[in-house]
Amino acid sequence: MAEILDYIETRSPQGAETVKRRLQAVIGLLADHPDAGRVTNRGNLRRVVASSYPYVIFYRSDATGIVICGVRHAAVVLSKSLGPVRFVDTRYVII
């Protein structure tokens, strides 16, 4: 997520802050409703679109909260042979 925000910030610092707030809001909602995202064909991995921005958040839930597995631009196509694009395992536990 940091790479996405850094990229946007070089073009629009205000835009980066707006996208960051939206991503954080969606992640907060997922903490309250972990089954809200669509199930993927990759085990217990789920996905949700951070609408009105073209970013997809991949996550899974466990006993301690949700685990963000990756955030990618919706235009990036995933290849079955290559698997997901650079997943970063970052833990978000919302209290």
What would the pLDDT profile of 25-35 be if each residue is shown by its tens digit? 998 899 899 99
2-92, CATH topology level: YaeB-like fold (3.30.2310)
Q: pTM value?
A: 0.72
Whether the CB-CB separation of 46 and 58 falls below 8 Å is answered with yes
What would the pLDDT profile of 32-51 be if each residue is shown by its tens digit? 999 999 998 888 899 999 88
Count of other CB atoms within 10 angstroms of residue 19: 20
Mean pLDDT by 10 residues, the chain (95 residues): 77 85 90 91 89 87 86 69 42 37
Domain ranges of the chain: 2-92
Task: Give the burial string for 56-77 (b: 16+ CB within 10 Å, else e).
Answer: bbbbbbeeeebbbbbbbeeeee
